[in-house]
Each structure stands twice: as C-alpha cells, then as structure tokens.
Copies of this chain bind each other. A is one copy, B any other.
Amino acid sequence: MVPEQLIGPELRLALRRLAKAVVIVTSKHDGVRHAMAATAVSELSIDPPSMLVCVNKSASMHPVLTTGAPFCINILHVSQEAMARSCSGVLKGEARFETGRWAQARSGIPYLLDAQAAIVCDHATALEFGTHSIFIGRVVEVHLAGEIDPLIYMDGGYCAAQALGKS
C-alpha cells in the first residue's frame, strides 16, 4: 500500500512498463509550424474517425492546439529515432523541420511524408485535466508510407517490435 504522496513516483515507474508508439504531433498557427514528439496518444473511435492526444499545459504545442488549430499525428518508423529526439527538446521551433521530408495537408498543417502513417485531424473538442489537456481530433486525411515497423518507447529507451510466434 502506497501513501498518497508517493503515487506520482509510483505511477512513473509503472509507466516505464507501458510500451508506447512514438509519434510527432504537428500543427501550424499564425503561419508558424510546430512539432512535438509524444507518446500519450490513442485511437478513440472509428465513427466518427477520431484520435486523442494529451499535451502538457507547459508545452509550446499547448497554446497552439488551444486555438482550435488542426493537428497531425505522425507515427514514426523505427529508423526515425533521431527525429523523435530532435522533437523532444534537442531542437526548438522551426529547426525541428530541418530534417525529414515534410508535406502540407489540405488544412495547411505540416505532415511527415516518411512517417509510417500521418493522421491529419481537425480540432473537435478538448478537455482539461490537471497539468494536461486532452485534444480530440476528427480525422480528415490519412497518409501511409513504407513498411510497418514502428518506433516504440519503453523503460526510458527506444525499441523495435518483434513478432511473437503463433501460439
């Protein structure tokens, strides 16, 4: 049994055990492009086609998405670890777009051409909770590229997926 004040640290330890796909969330506001690596992303529903992403209120992406800007969830390939690191704080602002091949979705926001999948969303709704907001997007455009071999983050490091034998 864990005293209440230790739940945060205990939760951090538990989350090291939760394997997560690495994505880059992209958006654009007032003509400025933004990109942020993220793992707190989930499919929501197919009808309507929708996704969610949780963003810390302290992240530079937060005020962008709060304006109701469209956003894209770019699912990284295992070869794109360097991009994940660049968009996790190594580079800032527009410098995050200096590597990778970027294209523009119909709404004008950038998406990563070589991402395994780029899921372009219009802002649907948002919900604040504690230090974060959950942004819910309605999927309006989908791009697929390359083989299925995603970049995974787990236990503080990057991993690849290896298929299990049939049981």
A contacts, CB < 8 Å to B: 1-2, 4, 7-8, 10-21, 23, 39-50, 52, 54, 56, 75, 78, 81-82, 106, 116-117, 119, 124-125, 127, 129-132, 134, 136, 139-142, 144, 148, 150, 152, 154-155, 157-164, 167
Is A18 a contact partner of B43 (Cβ separation < 8 A)? Answer: yes
> Which chain B residue shows the least CB distance to A105?
B1
The docked-state distance in angstroms from the alpha carbon of A39 to that of B166 is 20
Is A16 a contact partner of B148 (Cβ separation < 8 A)? Answer: yes
Is B17 a contact partner of A129 (Cβ separation < 8 A)? Answer: no
Q: Write out the residue numbers on chain B whose beta carbons fall within 8 Å of the beta carbon of A52.
A: 42, 52, 54, 134
